[in-house]
Structure 1
Amino acid sequence: MPLILVVDDQPTNIHALYQLLVDECEVSMATSGAEALAYCAQQLPDLILLDVLMPEMSGYEVCDRLKADPRTRGIPVIFVTVQGSASDEAEGFAHGAVDYIPKPFVDVVVKARVRTQLALKLASESFARSQIELFQRDKLASVGRTISGIAQELSSPLGNALISACTLQDDLAQLRVISQGGNIKRSDLEKHLRVSEESVGLVLSNLQRTLSIVDSFLQSTADNFGDQRRSFSLLELIHEVVASLAPALEAHQVRCELDAGDDLHLLSFRGALAKVLTTLIQNAVKHAYREAGGEVHLRVRPLGTDQLVVTVQDHGVGIPPGMLGRVFDPFFSTRFGMNRSEPGLYIVRNLVTFALGGQIQVESTPGVGTTVRLTLPLISPEARRAAG
Structure 2
Amino acid sequence: MPLILVVDDQPSNIHALYQLLVDECEVSMATSGAEALAFCAQQLPDLILLDVLMPEMSGYEVCDRLKADPRTRGVPIIFVTVQGGAEDEAEGFAHGAVDYIPKPFVDVVVKARVRTQLALKLASESFARSQIELFQRDKLASVGRTISGIAQELSSPLGNALIAACTLQDDLAQLRSTMQGGQLRRSDLDKHLRVSDESVGLVLSNLQRTLSIVDSFLQSTADNFGDQRRSFSLLELIHEVVAGLAPALEAQQVRCELDAGEDVHLLSFRGALAKVLGTLIHNAIKHAYREAGGVVRLRVRPSGADQLQITVQDHGVGIPPGLLGRVFDPFFSTRFGVNRNEPGLYIVRNLVTFALGGQIQVDSTPGVGTTVRLSVPLISPEARRAAG
Provide TM-score, normalisation by structure 2: 0.73
Q: What residue is the counterpart of 2:284 in the other structure?
A: 284
Q: Provide, for residues 354-374 of structure 1, a one-character-per-residue CA deviation record: whole Å limited to 9, x for no partner.
A: 344444345678998765443
What is the CA-CA distance between 1:113 and the residue it aligns to? 4.6
CA gap of 1:323–1:8, structure 2 versus 1, over 3 A, is closer
CA distance in 1, matches of 2:273, 2:201: 37
What is the CA-CA distance between 1:162 and the residue it aligns to? 0.8
- Determine if contact 1:220/1:351 at 8 Å carries over to the other structure: no
SS in 2 for 1:338: coil
SS in 2 for 1:318: coil
- Determine if contact 1:64/1:336 at 8 Å carries over to the other structure: no
Q: Does 1:133 align with 2:95?
A: no
Deviates more, 1:323-332 or 1:129-138: 323-332
CA gap of 1:238–1:59, structure 2 versus 1, over 3 A, is same
- Determine if contact 1:222/1:269 at 8 Å carries over to the other structure: no
Q: Provide, for residues 150-178 of structure 1, a one-character-per-residue CA deviation record: whole Å limited to 9, x for no partner.
A: 33333232122112112223434555676
CA gap of 1:208–1:44, structure 2 versus 1, over 3 A, is farther
SS in 1 for 2:104: coil
Provide TM-score, normalisation by structure 1: 0.73
Q: Provide, for residues 218-261 of structure 1, a one-character-per-residue CA deviation record: whole Å limited to 9, x for no partner.
A: 35535358756666543232112223434555676654332333
CA gap of 1:273–1:244, structure 2 versus 1, over 3 A, is same
- Determine if contact 1:311/1:372 at 8 Å carries over to the other structure: yes
CA gap of 1:152–1:73, structure 2 versus 1, over 3 A, is farther
CA distance in 1, matches of 2:4, 2:309: 51
CA distance in 1, matches of 2:373, 2:90: 38
CA gap of 1:33–1:213, structure 2 versus 1, over 3 A, is farther
What is the CA-CA distance between 1:328 and the residue it aligns to? 2.8
Q: What residue is the counterpart of 1:226 in the other structure?
A: 226
CA gap of 1:33–1:358, structure 2 versus 1, over 3 A, is closer
Q: Provide, for residues 340-383 of structure 1, a one-character-per-residue CA deviation record: whole Å limited to 9, x for no partner.
A: 55443211111223344444345678998765443445566777
CA distance in 2, matches of 1:85, 1:255: 32
CA distance in 1, matches of 2:290, 2:102: 34
- Determine if contact 2:64/2:322 at 8 Å carries over to the other structure: no
**What is the Cα-based RMSD across aligned positions, in Å?**
4.8
SS in 2 for 1:126: helix
Deviates more, 1:278-287 or 1:365-374: 365-374
Q: Does 1:267 align with 2:267?
A: yes
Deviates more, 1:25-34 or 1:156-165: 25-34
- Determine if contact 2:309/2:374 at 8 Å carries over to the other structure: yes
Deviates more, 1:123-132 or 1:101-110: 101-110
- The number of equivalent residue pairs is 388
CA gap of 1:4–1:332, structure 2 versus 1, over 3 A, is same
What is the CA-CA distance between 1:128 and the residue it aligns to? 0.9
Q: Provide, for residues 68-99 of structure 1, a one-character-per-residue CA deviation record: whole Å limited to 9, x for no partner.
A: 66554432334556788999988876775545
SS in 2 for 1:188: helix
Q: What residue is the counterpart of 1:387 in the other structure?
A: 387
Deviates more, 1:88-97 or 1:195-204: 88-97
- Determine if contact 2:164/2:199 at 8 Å carries over to the other structure: yes
- Determine if contact 2:6/2:30 at 8 Å carries over to the other structure: yes
In the alignment, structure 2 segments of 5+ residues that lack a partner are none
SS in 1 for 2:118: helix
Q: What residue is the counterpart of 2:238 in the other structure?
A: 238
What is the CA-CA distance between 1:191 and the residue it aligns to? 1.0
Deviates more, 1:287-296 or 1:231-240: 287-296
What is the CA-CA distance between 1:274 and the residue it aligns to? 1.9
CA gap of 1:104–1:153, structure 2 versus 1, over 3 A, is same
In the alignment, structure 1 segments of 5+ residues that lack a partner are none
Alignment of 1:168-183 (within 5 A): 168-175=168-175
